[in-house]
Structure 1
Amino acid sequence: MLLFKPIIIAALLFGAAGFSNHTVNKKSLVPPGKVEGNFTSHKNKESISVIKPKINADGTGCDGKCELILRFSGDHTPPITIEDCIGGEPVNLGDLDGDGKDEIGVLREWFNSCWHNYNVYTFKNGRWQFAVPPIHTYCDQWENGIKAIEKYPLKKGYVKINYSIMADSNIVVKNKIIKVK
């Protein structure tokens, strides 16, 4: 009987239907694949839906364009289209530049390679633009929990970016402090 207690407890915690690989942001109860924030206005909170391209049957290309679309719940918020991208989950990075609006980060996914750009978007003058140039990352960086971008607390409007490079046949993570656009 002692052997079955952990299984019963796990069933109660994770649901009788079994374990789920989906996580839910418990604070806002936003379903998987959606993120909330104040992205375009100081007052209006909205959510982001991710629309991934359809991958062809053999998994080597897309049926149509290989682009990821971030669609917003706000009626007047234009979508973000990321070309040459088959996946990625948006992250609310908070207000990196001090303008009262949240920035969005997306680790771009592609069919092959561990090298992926991390894009950071900000909404300025009625359109989306890069808050910083795309950040080059390698999968080891993410596996080791090294974030691509963090707010720099010592100077308003600046961030610390962590990026991967090839140096002497090794991949290393470097960092620098830069101003957000």
Structure 2
Amino acid sequence: MSFCWAAYLAWEPAVSSGLPPPSTKPANRELIPEGAVQGDFDGDGTAEYVWLVPPKIDSTDVDCVGECTSYLTSSNPALRPYVLQTAIGGMLAVYHHLGAGRRDYVGIAPAWFMGCWSRYFVLTYRPSGGQLGVKPFSTHCDQWEHDSIPIARDSAHAGHVLIHYTDMAAGDFAVKTKSVPLQ
């Protein structure tokens, strides 16, 4: 495991809007895997758990058996799994109430066999299934080593969030910030 990826794995976001957390739906904790995160991802006022189900890795530890696709799965069977292609797992973070409603968002930094560049996904659930909150944006492990929070509510612009990304075209790995509309 690279130093950069180890630093990312140690990063634990503490992101909240200050609103009270959603009520907790009773869940059989034996069925909730380690690494699951809890939030009200469908906005119904009841919290559910989500977690990534990674693909099976072959004996060489450098390829998948079949597709290298992970699935974001929920303790709420009404929430269909979200397909995350080109990912062998990843780290999840909960962002409470990025938008005007009580809906929570889950951030996903996909894991891959090597390298420090990654797309960062932020999504929530709508009746039609998982929906991206913003277009996936580029991050580099250097960003995680400096405790950069990838997304936050933009208090200056209603309905917008601030994304903190690493510009792949720049050679300095500087973290840049941009205000974008939240879907």
Taking structure 1 as the reference length, what is the TM-score of the superposition? 0.78
Q: Is the 8 A contact 2:138 2:168 kept in 1?
A: no
Task: Name 2:92's counterpart in structure 1.
Answer: 90
Q: 2:78 aligns with which of 73, 76, 87?
A: 76
SS at match of 1:170: coil
User: What does the per-residue CA deviation read over 1:120-144, in whole Å, with 9 as the maximum and x for residues that have no partner?
Assistant: 1122342212110111011100111
Could you tell me which amino acid in structure 2 is paired with residue 174 of structure 1? K
Task: Name 2:59's counterpart in structure 1.
Answer: 57
Could you tell me which amino acid in structure 1 is paired with residue 72 of structure 2? L
Q: CA deviation at 1:168?
A: 5.5
Taking structure 2 as the reference length, what is the TM-score of the superposition? 0.77
Task: Name 2:160's counterpart in structure 1.
Answer: 158
Query: Any unmatched runs of 5+ in structure 2?
Result: 1-9, 13-20
User: What does the per-residue CA deviation read over 1:118-167, in whole Å, with 9 as the maximum and x for residues that have no partner?
Assistant: 10112234221211011101110011111111111233321111110145
Q: Is the 8 A contact 1:166 1:172 kept in 2?
A: no
Task: Name 2:124's counterpart in structure 1.
Answer: 122
SS at match of 2:152: strand
Give 1 or 2 for the bigger CA radius of gyration: 1
SS at match of 2:174: strand
For residues 53 and 166 of structure 1, the distance between their equivalents in structure 2, rounded to whole angstroms, comes to 27
- How many correspondences in the alignment? 157
Q: CA deviation at 1:99?
A: 2.4
SS at match of 2:99: coil
* Residues 1-181 of structure 1: pairs in structure 2 closer than 5 A: 32-166=34-168, 169-181=171-183
Could you tell me which amino acid in structure 2 is paired with residue 85 of structure 1? A
Of all paired residues, the percent bearing the same amino acid is 30
For residues 168 and 74 of structure 2, the distance between their equivalents in structure 1, rounded to whole angstroms, comes to 36
Which runs of 4 or more aligned residues in structure 1 lie more than 4 Å from their structure 2 counterparts after TM superposition?
27-31
**CA 156–113 in structure 1, closer or farther in 2 if over 3 Å, else same:** same
Q: Is the 8 A contact 1:135 1:148 kept in 2?
A: no
Could you tell me which amino acid in structure 1 is paired with residue 88 of structure 2? I
